[in-house]
Homo-oligomer: A and B are copies of this chain.
Amino acid sequence: MYGFDPLETPAVETLDALGKFLPDTDRPNEGVFAWRDDGDWIALRYDLTAPLARVAAQYRNTLPLPYRRYAIGPVWRNEKPGVGRFRQFYQCDADTVGTSSMAADAELCILTATVLDAVGIPQPEYRIRINNRKILDGVLQAAGILDPDNPEAGAEMRGTVLRAMDKLDRLGPEGVRLLLGKGRKDASGDFTKGAGLTGVQLDVVMQFLASGVADAGKTLSCLEDLVGGTGSGADGVAELSEMMQLVSAHGAASGCVVDPSVVRGLAYYTGPVIEAELLFTVTDAKGRSQQFGSIAGGGRYDGLVRRFTGQDVPATGISIGIDRLLAALKARQPNLDAAGPVIVTVMDRDQMPEYQLMAAELRAAGIRAEVFLGNARNIGRQMKYADQRNAPVAVIAGSQEREQGVVQLKDLLLGRKLAEGASHEEWKARPSQLAVPRSQLVEQVRRLLTQG
């Protein structure tokens, strides 16, 4: 709908092509599954962005520019799995390569809002938080912990600062202040070493974080005051301002807010960064109620293609976490179970071709159906199986039925309804099992399914 073309890339790339952009992790290989094959180091992709940069570089002479692609596929992170955190998960990405226009970044926000609306998560149940890495560079410069003439110095400490800022939502201002300073002891007693900022440096960063308010205009002028004095900061505020203007022109994007605490973990971002989160609460495994949280993220990575070609190719993209999105939809609609197939039971093994014909007739009419293929001739076992499969109807045809030219249809939906407490009237009005002429199999099953 947005003009993005599909692109599929291999799951395996050379380690060099993927680059090292994951945040610090507790495992070797920087969180990547990598191994040596015929002398080369190869690895499973950790996102869909690095492979896109490789493709954009490799086919730069034949791809239309800007190149707009979407991709859906699994990615792998070599991390400790945890609740809602898997080593293999699905991402759906949309990226525009070859444009520095903020319109491309704004479009990604609108796209994300449209996707959430389309899957049934409307405003105000989500929020799309927008920031700009150049503004973050600006505040680091203003705090005196980033020297634009020597950007490598103090990189590790700045990483600690950015990770602390990213935790504002979770830990609140006091927690972040501790992590920026000497360190913080969490509820379990574990101590996290802080960034060791001085009092003045701390104030600059905390004031910056406090500039995130509901009104984008006020936040922007506040940011202008704080970081506008640095080159990076001024550029970042101008970009963010242009982006917000484009987003605001679009009615559907009312969920977009400027939020100076958005950092994004991946090291390749260079400009706008975007993070979408769901605001409704869910109950976790321990019965605690908490906000669903992050569902999508992205940003601009103007330097990623240059790694291959040496030429500047600006690019920006968004990545939606598919497993997270499905979990969110399931949390909202827990009874979203797929209906099971109609089960044709086997009363008489010799009649297998006839049972398969029944299933074929139902399938041809668009009804999901299968013949019971287990070994049990016992009807009880077969009914138990139908129940496990959430089957709506069971078809029963033994020798007696065959002689009479009928089949028995067992209404299992009704059975489950009764178990859930249907009324006596419903029970009387609708027999749970009925004999119908063999020739009416399809229409009678369909009748049971539609009245279900």
Contacts and interface: CB of A to CB of B under 8 A. Distances in A.
Interface of A: 1-3, 5, 10-12, 33-37, 44, 64-66, 68, 74, 76, 78, 87-88, 96, 98-101, 103-104, 106-107, 110, 114, 245-246, 249-250, 252, 338, 340-341, 343, 352-354, 356-357, 359-360, 363, 366, 368-375, 385, 388-389
Contacts of A246: 352-353, 356
Contact of A250 (B64, B98, B360): B360
B11 A368 contact: no
Consensus secondary structure, chain A interface:
mixed
A252 B360 contact: yes
A368 B3 contact: yes
A2 B356 contact: no
B3 A341 contact: yes
Contacts of A10: 87-88
Most B CB atoms within 10 A — which of A353, A360, A371, A373? A373
A366 B118 CA distance: 13
Contacts of A352: 101, 103, 246
A356 B96 contact: no
A373 B11 contact: no
A249 B357 contact: yes
Most B CB atoms within 10 A — which of A5, A12, A88, A343? A12
Nearest to A65: B374
A247 to B, nearest CB: 9
A401 to B, nearest CB: 19
B3 A369 contact: yes
B356 A100 contact: no
B249 A373 contact: no
A394 to B, nearest CB: 12
Contacts of A373: 66, 68, 96, 99, 101, 103-104, 107
A371 B66 contact: no
A100 B375 CA distance: 8
Contacts of A363: 1-2, 114
A99 B375 contact: yes
Contact of A385 (B12, B34, B36, B65): B65
